[in-house]
Chain A
Amino acid sequence: MKFLFDKDTWQEIYSGIRKNKVRTGITIIGVMWGIFLLVVLLGAARGLENKFNNLFGDFATNSVFVWAQSTSKPFKGFQEGKRMTLKMSDLENIKNEIEGLAFVVPRHQTQAQAVNNFKSGTFGIFGDYPTLDKVQKKNLTYGRFINDNDIEKKRKVCVIEEEIYKQLFDKDEYPIGTHIKINDINYLIIGMYKEGAIGSGGPQGAIHIPFTTFQQVYNRGNTVGWFMITGKPEFDIKQIEADVKLLLRNLHKVHPKDNRAFGSFNLGEQIAKVTGFLIGMQFLTWFVGIATLIAGVFAIGNILLITVKERTKEIGIRRALGAKPWEIKRQIILESVFLTSIAGALGIIFGGLVLMIIDATIGKGPDSVLINPTVDIPIVLIATSVLVVLGTLIGMIPAQIAVSIKPIEALRDE
C-alpha cells in the first residue's frame, strides 16, 4: 500500500488525467450526475416527508372525530331525519364501553367576533378541555393552556392562536393578561400558541375558551359539539371508530345500520394513506438513486474501457520499458477511484447547493412545498463509498484487459 502515499504514483495519475481533459471531464460528469441525482432526490423526499410530518405533527395521528347529524332511518317510533345531539353523558359511556382509548375530548365550536380596542375580527371560538393539548399539541409561545380550574369555575379566559394576535394586537404588544371582547364578554388572555400548518380554527385562527364557559355563554346546556377520540397505538383506529358510532346509535336509539346519524372523520386512516405514499416515494427515490448510481458506475467502466483501448499503445510502451502488470493495473484502478471520488465529492457539493437553493426558494414560509430538504451525511458517505468500491471493481475489468493484451500486440496497435 506504500504506493498510495508515493508522490510519483499521483504524479503519474495527475499527468494522465490532465492530458486527457475531455475523457476525464466526461467520466466526472457521468458519475457526478449519479450522485447529484441521489442527493437531490433524497433531499427532496426528505423535504416532502418533513412537510407532511409538519402538517400532522401536532395531531395524535390515530385520531377520529365524531359528531352528530340527523337519522336516515325511522327507528323505535322516531321518524327519519331526527336531529341528533351529543351529550356529556356520552363521554362517560364511551370511556366506559370502548376498549383501547387514549383520550376522548369533547369540544364545541362557533364563530364570533372578537374585539381588542379598535381592532376586530371574526374567528373560530372553541370550547375545550385541557386534554385537547394531549391530542392536538399546542406549541405555546406565551402563557399556558386551559386547566381544570378554568373548567370548574367556568372562567372567562382564552388561549389564542398567533394569527389572532397578529390581527388584534400591535406589534411587540404583550398579549398575556390583557382582555379581548368576544360577543360583548371580556376574556382574559392566558396563553398564545403557534399553530401547525393544519389549523383547526380555519384560516382566521382559533380562540379556545374553557368548555364549561362555552356551554354557559352560548347556552349549549349539557351538549357536546363533537368528540375527538384517540386510540392507543396498539389498537386499530378504524375499529374504535366503528365501535364508538355503534355505541352512540344504541345510546341515542338510532337504527344500528343508520350510517348518517353520526358522522366521523378518521384522521388516522388519512394519515396512513399519506404515510403509505411517503414510503412508496422513498422506495422510488432509492430505486431511482441506486439505479442512477449503477448507471454511473457502468459509465466509468465503459469510459475506462475506451480509455484502455485508446491507451493500448501507451500501455505497451510502458510495459516494454519495464512496467509490471500490477503497476499498470493499479494505475488504471487508482485513476478510476480518484476520478469517482472527485466526481462523488462534486456531486455532493452540487446536490447540496441545489438543496440549499430549494430550501431558500420554495422551502420557506407556511406554504412551502418542501421543508428542510436534507440528506443524512452517513447516507451520502455510504453512497459515495459504494460508488468508489463499485468503480474499483468495474475498473478491474479494463485493467485486466489492459494487462492481458500482450505488450507486443499493444505496441503494434495503431
Chain B
Amino acid sequence: MIEIKNLHKSYPIGKDSLHVLKGLNLHIKEGEFVSIMGSSGSGKSTLLNIVGLLDIHDEGEYFLDGQKIENLDEKKAAILRNKFLGFVFQSFNLIGYKTALENVALPLYYKGIGRKERQKIALEYLDKVGLKDWAKHLPSELSGGQKQRVAIARALVTKPKVVLADEPTGALDSTTSSSVMEMLKDINREGMTVFVITHEEEIAAETDRIVRLKDGVIISDELTHKKAKA
C-alpha cells in the first residue's frame, strides 16, 4: 500500500538546510496497523506529511497504492488525498462553524457527491462512531473525545485506503484515548490500513507494528507482542 525507498527530505533554515529524513525505507502492506514512534524532531511528522501528500519529498521514491508519486501539482495531490487518504489530527481540525454532520460530509462535497447522498453517508458514519444524536451540534459543543470521533468519521467517510492519524490521542485523557484507539483498531479489523504517529509507548503498543524513528533514520521496525502472538 505504502512503499518508500531511500526517502530524503530537508528544510531550508536561513542559508543552511535541515536534513530531516535521511534515506528512509519502509513498506506498509494493505490492512496493516502501524505506528511511527519517535521523539519530537525525529522526523515522524515530516514522514506523515509526505505520506499524506501534504508535503513533497526531495529524493527517493514513494509509491501509494502502486502509483508513483512524482511531479505532483496541488490539484492532483488534492484528488489523491480525497481518494486514498483519511486524516485524523491531534487538534481534531474540525471546522468550527459547521455541525458535526457537515464536517463529516465535507470530504464528500469535494468528491462531488450530491447533497442528499452526502448527508445520508455522513450520518451513517456518525452513527458508526456513536454520535448520531450529536449530528446537529457544533464542535464547540462536543467533548474532546467526541470531537476526535467526529474527525475519525470524517476520515473514514470517503472509504480511503489509508487512515493517517497524527497523535490522535495527544489532546485526550487516557480513558478517551483508549476508546479512540479501540475505534482505530475496529477500523483496521475492517481491513483498512491505519498509520498512527505517536510518541506515547502505550498508544504504540496498541498497534501491530512499531517503526521507531530517530534523527531521520529508522532505528527499529518490529511487530508488537500482540501481533506476534496472534
Q: Does A323 contact B (CB under 8 A)?
A: yes
A319 and B89: CB pair below 8 A?
A: no
B111 proximal to A (CB < 8 A): yes
Q: Give Cα A318 to B82, complex, Å.
A: 10
Q: Does A269 contact B (CB under 8 A)?
A: no
Judged by DSSP, the binding face of A is helix
Pair A322/B98 contact, Cβ less than 8 Å: no
Q: Report the count of interface residues on B (CB-CB < 8 A).
A: 28
Q: In the complex, are the beta carbons of A324 and B93 less than 8 A apart? A: no
Q: Using Cβ atoms and an 8 Å threshold, which residues of chain B touch A152? A: none
Q: A317 interface residue, CB < 8 Å from B? A: yes
B109 and A8 within 8 A (CB)? yes
Q: Which residues of A contact B78 (CB under 8 A)?
A: 319, 322-325
CB-based contact B115/A8 at 8 Å? yes
CA distance A321 to B95 in the complex (A): 12
How many angstroms from the CA of A408 to the CA of B107 in the assembled complex?
17
Question: Assuming the A-B contacts A8-B109, A408-B55, are A324 and B95 also in contact, with contact meaning beta carbons closer than 8 angstroms in the complex?
Answer: no
Closest CB in chain B relative to A18 CB, distance in Å: 8
Residues in A neighbouring B158, C-beta threshold 8 A: 322
Question: B177 near A: Cβ within 8 Å?
Answer: no
Q: How far is A318 from B111 in the complex, measured between Cα atoms in Å?
A: 12
* Cα–Cα, bound, A326→B76 (Å): 12
Measured between beta carbons, the chain B residues less than 8 angstroms from A243 are none
Interface membership of chain A positions 295-324, coded 1 if the CB is closer than 8 angstroms to chain B and 0 otherwise: 000000000000000000110111111111
Say if the beta carbon of A403 comes within 8 Å of chain B: yes
Question: Contacts A326-B75, A411-B89 hold; do A321 and B110 have CB atoms under 8 A apart?
Answer: yes
A312-361 contacts to B, CB under 8 A, are 313-314, 316-327
Q: Which of A18, A323, A326, A327 has the largest number of chain B CB atoms within 10 A?
A: A323
On chain B, the residues within 8 Å of A8 by CB distance are 109, 115
Please provide the chain A residues from 79 to 99 with a CB less than 8 Å away from any CB of chain B in the complex. Answer: none
CA separation between A11 and B97, bound complex, in Å? 13
A8-36 CB contacts (< 8 Å) to partner B: 8, 11-12, 15-16, 18-20
How far, in whole Å, are A224 and B49 apart by their CA atoms in the complex?
101
User: Which residue of chain A is the closest to B114 with respect to CB atoms?
Assistant: A8
Q: Across the two chains, which residue of chain A brings its CB closest to B118? A: A8
In the assembled complex, how far is the CB of residue B122 from the closest CB belonging to chain A, in whole angstroms? 12
* Bound CA–CA A278/B102 (angstroms): 58
Known contacts A321-B82, A322-B82; A406/B75 CB under 8 A:
no
- B33 interfacial contact with A, CB 8 Å: no
Number of contacting residues on A, CB 8 A? 28
CB distance from B45 to the nearest CB of A (A): 9
A407 at the interface (CB under 8 A from B): yes
With beta carbons under 8 angstroms apart, the residue of B102, B115, B154 that contacts A7 is B115
| Chain B positions 27-49 with a Cβ under 8 Å from a chain A Cβ | 49
> How far, in Å, is B65 (CB) from chain A's closest CB?
15
Q: Which residues 148-195 in A have Cβ within 8 Å of B in the complex?
A: none
> Which A residues are CB-close (under 8 A) to B81?
319-322
Identify which of A19, A325, A408, A411 contacts B97 (C-beta below 8 A).
A19
Shortest Cβ distance from residue B116 to the other chain A in the assembled complex, whole angstroms: 11
When the two chains form their complex, are residues A320 and B87 in contact, meaning their CB atoms are under 8 A apart? Answer: yes
Query: In the complex, are the beta carbons of A322 and B93 less than 8 A apart?
Result: no
Chain A contacts for B74, CB-based, 8 A? 319, 324-325, 403
Give chain B nearest CB distance to A168 CB in angstroms.
75
Shortest beta-carbon distance from A390 to chain B in Å: 27
Which of chain B's residues have a CB closer than 8 A to the CB of A313? 93
B residues in contact with A16, CB < 8 Å: 97
Contacts of B96 in A (CB 8 A): 19, 314
CA distance A8 to B111 in the complex (A): 12
Instruction: State in angstroms the CA–CA spacing of A9 and B81 once bound together.
Output: 21
- Name the residue of chain A whose CB is nearest to the CB of B164: A320
Q: Does B142 belong to the interface (CB within 8 Å)?
A: no
Q: Which residue of A lies closest to B82 (CB)?
A: A322
Partner of B111, one of A18, A320, A322: A322
Is the CB–CB distance between B55 and A406 below 8 Å?
yes
Cα(A403)–Cα(B107), bound, Å:
18
17 A-B residue pairs with Cβ-Cβ distance under 8 Å, sorted by A, are A7-B115, A11-B115, A15-B97, A15-B98, A15-B102, A18-B97, A317-B93, A319-B74, A319-B78, A320-B81, A321-B154, A322-B78, A322-B79, A322-B111, A325-B75, A327-B110, A406-B55
Chain A interface (Cβ < 8 Å from any Cβ of B): 7-8, 11-12, 15-16, 18-20, 313-314, 316-327, 403, 406-408, 411
**Ordered nearest first, which 10 A-B pairs have the shortest CB separation?**
A322-B82, A19-B97, A408-B54, A322-B110, A321-B107, A324-B78, A325-B74, A317-B93, A323-B110, A324-B75
